[in-house]
């Protein structure tokens, strides 16, 4: 597996990582624990070294799963997790997808670190993101707190998720960032306007989540697909009704590209991301080993300069309809 480096402090990871949320949340059905652990360990055998989880995913259960699975190979992998929610009052797990209360107060961060370390069965977190910007806590205060944790050896590198470029600059000035995580794919290209130039200027790595558009770009769905109410996509405007029908035009285009290059749509989507910058590391999420193998193959897809220009021209001509989050969650991003 090819590797890439995030940030100026040299965090080396596999060119394609693994987003682990779906093992326990948002995209049912979920594998049983034994099968999930087997899949995660097989991913390491195949060359994946970069695993992404978060405290809020299933309220600790996802971290616990990742911790058990990767404990035997802890020295071979990079584990990224996230803080930023107040878990002191647990919600009703049968009805709520995530806590409603953001919190990045220093005391909340320190409590979160200890919980994550325990669940992940480790003495350090390789890459620690603020999951969402807390408007009630200055980002400088967050950066100072993380700086203390880095000095203590509990955190090695840190980053931000779904933060505005201006916030990235302020945080980086206090405690240098290794990576920023935001959604980025063939069907969500907003980071190109300001985020990517900012990261390039500052020497910060970029970790796109949902690089396959929540599986849209794999070609699995059609214009009449209906998502079960337990599936997170059922609440996302982009996947609903006429929006979905319209947005399939992009999927058809990606399928055509895949056929032209003799590969799969997923590999086209991941290969395109990797071709944008050498410091971009996508983290597609899947629970199936055959999909992990397919996604890893995206690192072997090559595009000519002419092909990339043609793809960009075609993307610019397409309009994607519908928001990428339900309205209540869209408000929680720092963009």
**Distance separating alpha carbons of residues 113 and 116, to the nearest angstrom:** 5
Could you give the strand order of the β-sheet that contains 18-19, starting from the edge strand earlier in sequence? 18-19, 50-52, 78-83, 125-130, 155-161, 179-183, 205-209
Q: Which two tokens stand for residue 308?
A: 């990339």
**Distance separating alpha carbons of residues 135 and 112, to the nearest angstrom:** 18
How many C-alpha atoms does 2 have within 13 Å on its Cβ side?
Answer: 17
How many C-alpha atoms does 98 have within 13 Å on its Cβ side?
Answer: 22
**How many Cβ atoms sit within 10 Å of the Cβ of residue 220?**
12
**Distance separating alpha carbons of residues 319 and 56, to the nearest angstrom:** 33
**How many Cβ atoms sit within 10 Å of the Cβ of residue 203?**
15
**59 assigned to active site:** no
Q: Are 228 and 256 within 8 A, CB to CB?
A: no
User: One of 27, 57, 128, 184 is an active-site residue; which one?
Assistant: 57
**Distance separating alpha carbons of residues 84 and 142, to the nearest angstrom:** 10
Q: Which residue has the tokens 């599936």?
A: 231
**Alpha helix locations (H) across the chain?**
33-46, 61-70, 106-120, 139-151, 165-174, 195-202, 241-261, 265-276, 289-296, 305-316, 327-330
What's the Cα-to-Cα distance from 297 to each of 78, 164, 207, 280, rounded to whole Å? 20, 31, 18, 16
| Catalytic center residues | 57
């Amino acid at each position: 597996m090819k590797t890439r480096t995030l940030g100026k402090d040299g965090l080396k990871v596999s060119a394609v990582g693994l987003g682990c949320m779906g093992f326990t949340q948002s995209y049912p059905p979920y594998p049983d624990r034994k099968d999930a652990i087997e899949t995660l360990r097989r991913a390491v055998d195949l060359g994946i070294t970069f695993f992404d989880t978060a405290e809020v995913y299933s309220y600790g259960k996802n971290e616990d799963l990742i911790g058990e699975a990767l404990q035997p190979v802890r020295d071979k992998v990079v584990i990224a997790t996230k803080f930023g929610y107040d878990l002191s009052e647990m919600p009703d797990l049968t009805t709520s997808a995530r806590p409603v209360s953001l919190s990045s107060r220093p005391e909340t961060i320190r409590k979160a670190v200890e919980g994550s370390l325990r669940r992940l069965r480790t003495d350090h977190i390789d890459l620690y993101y603020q999951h969402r910007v807390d408007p009630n806590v200055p980002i400088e205060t967050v950066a100072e707190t993380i700086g203390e944790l880095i000095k203590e050896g509990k955190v090695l590198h840190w980053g931000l998720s779904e933060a505005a470029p201006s916030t990235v600059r302020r945080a980086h000035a206090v405690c240098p960032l290794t990576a920023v995580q935001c959604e980025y794919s063939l069907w969500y290209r907003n980071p190109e306007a300001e985020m990517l130039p900012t990261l390039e200027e500052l020497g910060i790595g970029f970790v796109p989540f949902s690089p396959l558009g929540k599986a849209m770009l794999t070609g699995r769905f059609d214009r009449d697909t209906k998502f079960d109410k337990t599936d997170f996509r059922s609440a996302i405007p982009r996947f609903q009704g006429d929006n979905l029908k319209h947005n399939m035009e992009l999927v058809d285009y990606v399928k055509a590209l895949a056929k032209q290059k003799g590969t799969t749509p997923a590999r086209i989507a991941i290969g395109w991301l990797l071709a944008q910058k050498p410091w971009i590391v996508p983290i597609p999420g899947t629970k199936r080993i055959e999909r992990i193998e397919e996604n890893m193959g995206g690192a072997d897809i090559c595009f000519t300069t002419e092909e990339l220009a043609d793809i960009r021209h075609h993307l610019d001509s397409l309009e994607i309809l519908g928001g990428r989050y339900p309205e209540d969650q869209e408000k929680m991003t720092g963009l």
